[in-house]
Copies of this chain bind each other. A is one copy, B any other.
């Protein structure tokens, strides 16, 4: 469930190619790294709750519904559809699961009785809190992590550099070395 990208050794500092030396307007070079880091960071970020959800037979779609209903109690179906950008049919499938199993409740709208206002039940709130906890833990860890100390640069301060630090710190620690190694390899191949 949690293999490093390549099964070999560690590596403290990267070879430091053209990474984050700019201070003016952002350049494409920084962004290239950010594209990749976003992929890895987001993957690990949703991976945490995925493991919990699997125990309940739920998936990411259920998570998204739980999250928004928990955070915005009384959300209507239409609002939820706008947020998630999925079709009514897709939403209904997972929403039905959550309602049938007692994690979400519907309540007829007061001003407009056509609407179905969505609320988490106590167990829905508990499950959501579980899911939120692991994600918050990862984010807090990333925000508190010391800035990457690259030999090629003293001060740091570029926004791209901060973003890189944050996203890198969001990645599962055990995999960071492998990802740094991979990204250094790119720096080697090109300019």
Contacts and interface: CB of A to CB of B under 8 A. Distances in A.
Contact of A186 (B38, B39, B72): B72
A68 to B, nearest CB: 8
Contact of A166 (B5, B27, B163): B163
Name the 4 nearest CB pairs between A and B, nearest first: A26-B143, A31-B139, A31-B136, A5-B82
Contacts of A27: 140
Contacts of A182: 72, 83
A135 B39 contact: no
A168 interface: no
A71 B132 contact: no
Contacts of A186: 71-72
Contact of A143 (B45, B163, B189): B163
B71 A139 contact: no
Interface string A70-84: 011100000100110
23 contacts: A3-B82, A4-B82, A5-B79, A6-B82, A25-B144, A26-B144, A27-B140, A30-B143, A31-B135, A31-B143, A32-B132, A34-B139, A35-B67, A35-B135, A35-B136, A36-B67, A38-B45, A39-B67, A72-B182, A72-B186, A82-B178, A143-B160, A166-B166
Contacts of A160: 143
Interface in A14-36: 25-28, 30-32, 34-36
Given A3-B85, A36-B67, A163-B163, 15 more contacts: A6-B79, A26-B143, A32-B71, A35-B135, A38-B45, A39-B64, A43-B85, A72-B182, A72-B185, A82-B178, A143-B163, A159-B162, A159-B166, A162-B162, A162-B166
A interface secondary structure, majority: helix
